[in-house]
Structure 1
């Protein structure tokens, strides 16, 4: 199945929305809470985590609803449109805390608005992740589709990560006004990108909907059982998700630490923009290169290589504790080039996992896969932020409001550096363990033999539509 350029473009533009929402709150929300609203670092981390725990609860339900919509209408568009319409409003409200509220009341305002924004985001993101397996039919077509997506994702991270703080500065001495201007501009771009991408099925068509029942039963517990069943029965999904979540923890911690590094280590709040240019600029160049590496050596090996490069670059940033300076942009740029591979490659591997599952089981569970994946990704990013705030709290970080001036103890500055370097490096090192157990290779995805698919050299039965695990498939091995 050949992908039209318009299809690739419409799908990729959705990553302006997903990248923007994933980047900007991760970069500035905790800093907004601790250094503008006066919320203690530990409490700020718990608030962001609470919103992402909600994602874990709601994403599998949205995934099952998306599968039902796909089975009955042949599309996943309605939920995507609902998310694109609702997200801008709730995103704006997150940064519209009225002046004069006490820190506790301000924290509750942010929590409520961000919970609603996260729900709207999931309405778009869960079906969006499920689409590649349905609009791209081969191993290489999915690599092309997801490579284009990550190029746009990298540009979105640069746009929101660099442009967001710059827009915030338009408020001058009024920090709250600056955050409101930033949120309003970002909200418009987020909503527009999501609505454009929601039309991709109409332009592309889709692979035939599966004949199995994608979501038997409507009780909420059924959706969670379906998600647990994916993890239990699909070794490819289990290992890929574990590696990706650990890396989301790493990038979440590094992302949240960037503003603190700019403010308290480099002593220049505007430096966060340059950090993002250094991080994301190389990604725009390197993402297509990782696609070429994947075609040559396989996605899983390229993913491991990108992770190793990121690990080494993150460790190099430890030197900030002793010698902060412009040299930091060199290892940050290396990490950025590697990060593009850490995003593009697992995203290209997920549709392979979904397609392989559909062929070997005969059931349509793409939305459920998308729900569990989104829950894992957002939880990893949030817990990365929580991990950073725990390090800050343990090292004595002092919270403040927009009308206060504080000096951080040396221990807190060391904590900021650790959250930006050591913590991400350790988490990426751990991610290499499950990645080494990922079993699918190109031959398992593009099998021309016509007699079923293979995993690790063993045949599986594509005619099994019972929902039970085929007994001879290596993906069932623990």
Structure 2
């Protein structure tokens, strides 16, 4: 196995984030308002329709990981799933936003079934994709470089899909028709990412077949004994719920608090994701100086403080809100880099201790938790909307809201994410996988390019 990866390999692997970024962003951004403001579904029911199909992935992800762990092919254990799972995900995503008309129970049921299929396809792409870094390099610092590339592409994917998707809906007539065109666009982005990763990682040696645990129960038991993995996963999942809660509120925030339904969603999203493209090298340097665990805590604290700062949106002009959102985006970039860089460390540490290849099991549990977090976020936001009296609409345009509902939108967009992202970082004190010791044991250096 080659410890140092070529630029082409890093770029090829990172392109998979086009698929993960698009699927992780657009349903969380547009599916809930699509249900409440286009299909006329009540906020509570809409929240369940978003939650339940993704909750299904909690069961599917470990299964997908176990299968890829045991796969032997000329393409390696992971790359076949990256290719075919990614293409299946693209097709299913296009179908997700192609609901039949007129709006009503049949359309809502269609969305629920289509989302279930899409989430299943995503599991068989995402789990093997996340497992690859622990197998294509043994170098501790190289994994941070690889994750920096990945998160940079992830930021582009989130920015493009999250900012452009609402624009496509608006410019193609809105309503069901506009969402269909948007679904085709995002499906194309997903397909490009899957194929590019399959091709770009063809020269890696991610084809090792080593001993693995014989049963899923044994594998799960092994994961539970890996304290660094369990601590990191707990922190990541809870923080993902907070991020997904904020993501679900972008359109509601733009419509009902900022009063800018036209350009507000795109500008909010651009301010959230755009800074990641600029600060990624700075986070990478900080990680080498402080260690990944400390840097993750710094990034999470910055995110939480910025989210609380959004309370000024009740009286401040939109420009101030966009600036505060950019600060949150800086923290978000750091969170993604270090959480994703620490996961392969946990997996590699387990392989060092046991001599068994179980990356698929760990990443299966990881992505199951991430998927559940992405599902719970919109559910949490929908609950806030329900409690604050949000009024749904079947016209394709949001209804006028009472002040209580507008305040609920603001709290769901600021206070709730801050409480989910900030305090949980205290658990990292129990992480226990020392940066310096781990790097020395794997023969890594801190030399930069």
- Which residue of structure 1 lines up, in the alignment, with residue 196 of structure 2? 196
Going from structure 1 to structure 2, the CA distance change for 1:14 and 1:405 (only over 3 Å counts) comes to closer
Deviation at 1:79, TM superposition (A): 1.6
- Provide, for residues 313-360 of structure 1, a one-character-per-residue CA deviation record: whole Å limited to 9, x for no partner: 000001223445321011100000110000010100000100000001
* Residue 398 (structure 1) aligned to one of 391, 401, 406: 391
CA distance in 2, matches of 1:282, 1:122: 29
2:275 paired with 1:299? no
Change beyond 3 A, Cα 1:449–1:292: closer
* Residues 98-117 of structure 1 aligned to structure 2 (within 5 Å): 98-102=100-104, 104-117=105-118
User: Which one is further off, 191-200 or 377-386?
Assistant: 191-200
Q: Does the CA contact (< 8 Å) of 1:75 and 1:201 recur in 2?
A: no
| Aligned CA-pair RMSD | 1.7
Query: How high is the TM-score relative to the length of structure 2?
Result: 0.94
Q: CA deviation at 1:405?
A: 6.4
For residues 378-427 of structure 1, give each alpha carbon's deviation from its aligned partner in whole angstroms, at most 9, with x where no partner exists. Answer: 10111011000000000000111126763211111011001110000000
- Distance, in Å, in 1 between the alignment partners of 2:49 and 2:377 is 13
Relative contact order, higher structure (CA 8 A, sep 6+): 2
Q: What do residues 184-224 of structure 1 show as CA deviations (whole Å, max 9, x unaligned)?
A: 111011112112212344222237443x2x241xxxxx43x
Q: 1:373 to 1:70 in 2, by over 3 A?
A: farther
Structure with larger Rg: 1
Q: Does 1:435 align with 2:436?
A: no
Distance (Å, rounded) in 1 between the aligned partners of 2:28 and 2:246: 9
Do residues 248 (structure 1) and 265 (structure 2) align?
no
Find the partner of 1:25 among 15, 22, 27. 27
1:226 Cα offset (Å): 4.3
After superposition, the Cα gap between the structure-2 partners of 1:209 and 1:77, relative to the gap in structure 1 and judged at 3 Å, is same
Q: Does 1:258 align with 2:245?
A: no
The separation in 2 between residues aligned to 1:268 and 1:196, in whole angstroms, is: 37
Task: For structure 2, list consecutive stretches of 5 or more residues without a partner in the other structure.
Answer: 444-449
Moved more, 61-70 or 321-330: 321-330
Equivalent pair of 1:8/1:148 in contact (CA under 8 Å): yes
Q: What residue number does 2:156 align with?
A: 155
**1:151–1:405: structure 2 CA closer, same or farther, 3 Å change rule?**
closer
Alpha-carbon deviation of 1:70?
5.0
1:50-129 equivalence runs, <5 A: 50-70=52-72, 74-102=76-104, 104-129=105-130
CA distance in 1, matches of 2:247, 2:399: 23
1:60 touches 1:227 (CA, 8 Å); kept in 2? no
Question: Taking structure 1 as reference, are residues 403 and 292 closer, same or farther at Cα in structure 2, changes over 3 Å only?
Answer: closer
Asked if 1 retains the 8 angstrom alpha-carbon contact of 2:75 and 2:207, the reply is no
Provide TM-score, normalisation by structure 1.
0.89
- Whole-angstrom distance in 2 between the partners of 1:46 and 1:161: 22
Q: Is the 8 A contact 2:69 2:77 kept in 1?
A: no
Q: How does 1:445-464 map to 2 (within 5 A)?
A: 445-448=438-441
- Alpha-carbon deviation of 1:287? 1.5
User: Secondary structure at 1:204's aligned position in 2?
Assistant: coil
Alignment partners' CA distance in 1, 2:74 and 2:397: 57
Matched positions, count? 440
Tell whether the 8 Å contact from 1:314 to 1:422 is kept in structure 2 after alignment.
yes
